[in-house]
Amino acid sequence: MSSLESASPQIAPGRVGVLLVNLGTPDTADARGLRVYLKEFLSDPRVIEDQGLFWKLVLNGVILRVRPARKAKDYLKIWNNELNESPLKTITRGQSDKLAAAIADHDHVEVDWAMRYGNPSIQSGFDALMAKGCDRILVVPLYPQYAAATTATVFDKVAEVLLAMRVQPTVRFVPPYYEEPAYIEALANSIEAQLATLPFKPEVIVASFHGMPQKYVDKGDPYQTQCVATVAALRRRLNLDDKELILTFQSRFGYDPWLQPYTDKTMERLAAEGVKRIAVITPGFSADCLETLEEIAQENAEIFRHAGGEQFSFIPCLNDSDGGMDVIRQLVLRELQGWI
């Protein structure tokens, strides 16, 4: 053996990492925690594309002075007080733990989780997996439908993490799964199971997705098309028409037109038209969070009842349920082919 060969580091067999990534959460349910979280989130040019001087003045001079205290009150309504964290963090950890158990027979695979904004960060997730010897990492953005403001910003952050590395792992990403048969089947089974427990039969099921500015779609974002595809697949599976299962968009922000119809306005319209009983699903979210547990299950329920509706049911996300985990497991095992 040459002196050069003897001086070279030994190459150990590599391990494979799987990193589940969801949107993010504040560390604390107070104005300070929300201020830190919102500053990171709203400073991302994928989320707010115009990051010019006017936006910076509005963000730092108005939004970060007013919005954190108000949003903190909303988080307190749903906060996991036992663990002192948001439900999104609790559920994403549960998804990671259950995925690890489900693929434990692949003993060279490590599973971890991260948030795009807040903690644990994507940087910490990569650091932890690489410290365990992972030289290949599968990133799993937990967004069924692709959007530049969600999925693409995960890609951006991963690229930023890799940019600082001399020795980089090989990276793959799980693609959007908005009409994957396993996903649609899990949603349908969850809806059917929840409806069977209700003391009433909904006249309408509303599928509420997170909104985005209309101009983002006009620029080519496929998000709306993929939301429509998810609902179309669900209608076929549940044998419902476009009046029995309708699509809406929630969580608009600012003054620009967002994707329509708006969820809150639809609540008012349905009640005004005489609809008394509805159920709401949120198939754009893989885990329950502020937008589902507070905005839909509380705020929009109140809007519907105030407008004349009587019975409102929120159907939870797939979360870390058996059906939800089976979707994630199937996606991960498919994308790990060749590595395991």
Per the annotation, binding residues are: 210, 291
Beta-carbon contacts of 270 under 8 Å, excluding residues fewer than 6 positions away, are 204, 206, 278, 304, 309
Helix (H, G, I), strand (E, B) or coil at 338: coil
Question: Which string of DSSP letters, residue by residue, matches 127-163?
Answer: HHHHHTTEEEEEEEE--SS--IIIIIHHHHHHHHHHH
- The answer to whether the beta carbons of residues 91 and 53 sit under 8 Å apart is no
The contacts found for 29-32 with CB under 8 angstroms, 24 or more apart, are 29/72, 29/75, 29/76, 29/79, 29/86, 30/72, 31/68, 31/69, 31/72, 32/68
| Cα-trace Rg, the chain | 21
Tell me the binding residues for Fe(2+): 210, 291
DSSP class of residue 85 equals B
Cα–Cα distance for residue pair 70/31, rounded to 1 Å: 8
Strands (E), the chain: 15-25, 109-118, 134-141, 170-173, 204-210, 245-250, 277-281, 311-314
